[in-house]
Amino acid sequence: MLFRISALSLALSAALAVSATEAELEHITVKGDFRQQDLQRLAGSVAVLSEQDLQRQSVQHLDDALRQFANVNFAAGASRGRFLQVRGIGERSEFIDVINPSVGILIDGIDYAGLGISSLAHPEQLEIFRGPEATRFGTNALAGMVNLTSKAPTAVAEGKVNATVANYDSWQLTGVYSAPISEQLAYSLTLDQNKSAGFIKNAYLNRDDTNNLDEFTARLRLDYQALAELKLGFIAHLIDQQNGYDAFSLDRNRTTLSDEPGQDKLRSKAVAVTADYQGLALADMFTQLSYLNADSDYGFDEDWSYVGIHPWGYSYQDRYLRGREQWTLDYRLTSKTDGQLWGQTDWVVGLYASQRDLSLSRLRRAESRWRFFDSSLERRNLALYAETQSPLTDKLTLVLGGRVERYRDDYLDSGNISLRPDETLWGGKISLNYQLNQQAMLYGLLSRGYKVGGVNGEALARAGEDRFAQLAEKASFKSESLLNAEFGVKGSAADGSLTTRVAAFYMWRDDMQVKGWLNPDLGPEFAGFIDNAASGRNYGLEAETRLLLSPSTQLFVNLGYLQSKLGRYLTDSGLDMTGRDQAHAPRVNYSVGADWYLTEQLTLQAGVQGNSGFYYSDGHNAKAGSSQLLNLRLGYQLAQWELAVWLRNALDKDVGVRGFYFGNDPRDEYAPHVYEQFAEPRRFGATISYSF
């Protein structure tokens, strides 16, 4: 408690002490909000990374970037970490049951929730919204939202090409080019190809590429100024991911024994059209219509071994083929600043509609016998939202927002089970923002988020078996809601030498969704389901500071402190988890980085990122250890060229990113162990860049 009070007092004192002069400040614009506002004047805990910030840590993928954010974590269980947690809330896997992520992902306004981000090459910026953002994003933002914006088209031709080589037979080639086609039309194209043998040695097959990476991403943006008041846009994305998946080792290291290594493949195509019309007297009109089609193939060797490893061994394989087709419409009116409908009040009203068709084919082989399970889910969402900003005095502003969302599911599976759950959910926010001076703001925020419920397909499929009969009571799970109370301070020195942001929050979770597992005979047969715990509590601090120590030295410090508690919750295996920390919720995480400009051409950048240990699951007590990662980068700039050599995880630490606790090794009579998937080991490489 003393730590929390001291940290908040220090940040508040720094903000109150900054000068109130009119000096020119660096402004970071948050692109994911209704209005593109200055980060320092936006109520809420939002973190932003530019392309330069990502370059500082030699980031190649979202996994590498997330460790820079306070109170943000991720789980792998696949070739990449696409399951995100913010403030201790978020999913850790997806098998049979369709989940609605607690932390959504938008790329250029297109919904990629559950699919992840395959490339961070040449972004405009990456934003993390922490805390419920139902008014802005709806059911996909119970705990937060990740928003990635691609490079916008420019009026002058410009481009950049990066080539990287690294250990583990890795290479990456990326490029971005933007140029006008005419006075009205311009485009931006980003391409990225990333390949690596991966960081696993398969001793049985004598291969080092069974957990390989092979990812191609293309993003295109077109802007067309059709009229003085009308701007049209076109967006196209292509993702082709052909990754292997062979990550868990019976020997609990980076050496596997699988005879049937798996795969983690994704092919996704998305397009969107936008229209921004500013010809109305009272409001600007914005519309985005998007379409996404994705097919994935995820599978693994369930026994993690080979036939003949031991007389008690078994041979299972699991594979999930998913299809996803979605349409999304977002239409809104935003008041003009010079023609208000209600005095000085700014307002936004909008309509959101989506249609998502999901299909699953599960192919599971137990010894020589195949089991098949198919399901389809059609989900329809319709929402109305609104937000107002009203100045109460010249320094005090009241923000009110709300969203009402109706969803309906049509579920059907190969067991001829048909369900049609539907519900109306709501969320909103109210904040008071006090602008102390040009450089400092205080805010108090109360916000409510929600997440839809769903159907436990695996529980329904296995409930007919005698040993899984109790799963009949787990046919579905309820929606979850979250109430967040937050106080924050944001301040900047007038000369730009110091920028600080601190948020203190307390969140109440009702009917929190947790992942449960049933293993009735302690053998290789499991059944998973989503359950509802009675409640949960999450509270803590987030602090971010940038300090210019000298003209040649810059320091960055991000710190997250989190307490998370499960409410009354008894697992089906009899464990009482009441009061325990929630899964993937480290109590402390931090990122400290520095830039030293040694000469006009030579720059040294260093960063240390770490977190305390955390539980892997709400269904068992296995824990990940604490971690500390050291990253180094030395760059030399010469005109349009830059050469950089870099180290990630320089101390070669094993960092767990997914973990289970059970028995899977016949050699020790299936004694239970903590089995972990590890993040990348020490990486070193060189990158050459050319800007033109």
The pLDDT tens digits of the residues spanning 654-682 come to 999 999 999 999 999 999 999 999 999 99
Q: How many residues comprise the chain?
A: 692
DSSP 95: S
When pLDDT is averaged across residues 127-140 and rounded to a whole number, the result is: 95
Query: In this predicted model, which residue has the larger pLDDT, 64 or 235?
Result: 235
Compute the average pLDDT of residues 627-655. 96
Cβ of 253: how many Cβ atoms within 10 Å?
12
Strands (E), 5-71: 29-30, 37-38, 45-50
Q: What pLDDT is attached to residue 514?
A: 82
pLDDT score of 45: 96
The whole-number pLDDT of residue 211 equals: 97
For residue 434, name the pLDDT band (cuts at 50, 70, 90). very high
- Beta strand pairing call for 553-566 and 230-245: unpaired
Residue 257's alpha-carbon distances to 81, 228, 254, 363, in angstroms, are 23, 64, 10, 22
Residue 145: CA count within 13 A, CB half-sphere: 26
Give me the pLDDT at residue 25, please. Answer: 47
> Which pTM does this prediction carry?
0.92
Helix (H, G, I), strand (E, B) or coil at 393: coil
For residue 82, pLDDT beyond 80: yes
Q: What is the spatial distance between Cα 639 and Cα 636, in angstroms, rounded to a whole number? A: 10
The stretch 147-152 carries a mean pLDDT of 95
pLDDT for the residue numbered 469: 74
Q: 488, 40 in Cβ contact below 8 A?
A: no
How confident is residue 534, by pLDDT bands cut at 50, 70 and 90?
confident
pLDDT band at 3 (very low <50, low <70, confident <90, very high): very low
- Looking only at the bridges linking them, the beta strands covering 498-510 and 513-518 are unpaired
151: which residues sit within 8 A by CB, 6+ positions away? 122, 123, 124, 176, 178, 188, 190, 221
| pLDDT reading at 8 higher than 90 | no
pLDDT band at 26 (very low <50, low <70, confident <90, very high): low
Give strand pairing partners of 159: 177
Return d(Cα 104, Cα 91) in angstroms, integer.
Answer: 11
Q: Read off the pLDDT band of 17 (50, 70, 90).
A: very low
Tens digit of each residue's pLDDT (9 = 90 or more) over 295-315: 999 999 999 999 999 999 999
> How does the average pLDDT of the chain come out, rounded?
91
Burial class (CB in 10 A: 0-12, 13-18, 19+), 306: middle
Task: Give the pLDDT score at 14.
Answer: 46
CATH fold for domain 2-691: Maltoporin; Chain A (2.40.170)
Lowest mean pLDDT segment, chosen from 96-105, 136-145, 357-366, 384-393: 96-105
Handedness of CA 71, 75, 80, 83 (dihedral sign): negative
Q: Which tokens sit at 274?
A: 């936008």
Instruction: Find out whether 376 and 399 touch, Cβ atoms under 8 Å.
Output: no
- Distance (Å, whole) CA 630 – CA 58: 12
Tell me the per-residue pLDDT of 594-612, one tens digit each, with 9 for 90 and over: 999 999 999 999 999 999 9
Q: Is the Cβ–Cβ distance between 96 and 374 less than 8 Å?
A: no
Sign of CA dihedral 8, 13, 14, 16: positive
What is the predicted pLDDT for the residue at 532?
Answer: 84
Q: Is 77 exposed, middle or buried (0-12, 13-18, 19+ CB in 10 A)?
A: buried
pLDDT tens, position by position, 440-462: 999 999 999 999 988 887 777 77
Cα–Cα nearest to 332, from 403, 255, 432: 403
Mean pLDDT over 489-502 rounds to: 93
CA-closest candidate to residue 434, choices 496, 497, 487: 487
Specify the pLDDT at position 676: 96
**What does the alpha-carbon distance between residue 414 and residue 569 come to, in Å, rounded to a whole number?**
32
Would you say 452 and 98 are in contact if contact means Cβ atoms under 8 Å apart?
no
Instruction: Quote the CA–CA distance of 7 and 4 in Å, as a whole number.
Output: 5
The domain limits of the chain are: 2-691
User: What percentage of the chain reaches a pLDDT higher than 70?
Assistant: 94
pLDDT band with cut points at 50, 70 and 90 for residue 524? low
> CA–CA separation, 82 vs 451, rounded Å?
18
* pLDDT tens digits along 162-219: 999 999 999 999 999 999 999 999 999 999 999 999 999 999 999 999 999 999 999 9
Q: Are 34 and 136 in contact (CB under 8 A)?
A: yes
**Residue 151: exposure state from Cβ atoms within 10 A (0-12, 13-18, ≥19):** buried
Phi-psi region of 506 (alpha: psi -120 to 50; beta: other; left: phi over 0): beta
For strands 255-256 and 201-202, give the pairing: parallel
Say what the pLDDT of residue 522 is: 56
Residue 135: pLDDT above 50? yes
What is the structure's pLDDT at 521? 61
Q: Are strands 527-532 and 535-550 parallel, antiparallel or unpaired?
A: unpaired
Euclidean distance between CA atoms 289 and 327, whole angstroms: 7
Query: Which residues 6+ apart lie within 8 Å of 220 measured at CB?
Result: 187, 188, 189, 190, 234, 235, 236, 237
Would you give the end-to-end CA distance of the chain in angstroms? 52
* pLDDT given at position 344: 82
Confidence of residue 274 (pLDDT cuts 50, 70, 90): very high
Q: Which of 124-128, 301-305, 413-417, 614-618 has the lowest mean pLDDT?
A: 413-417
Sole residue written with tokens 């980060």: 39
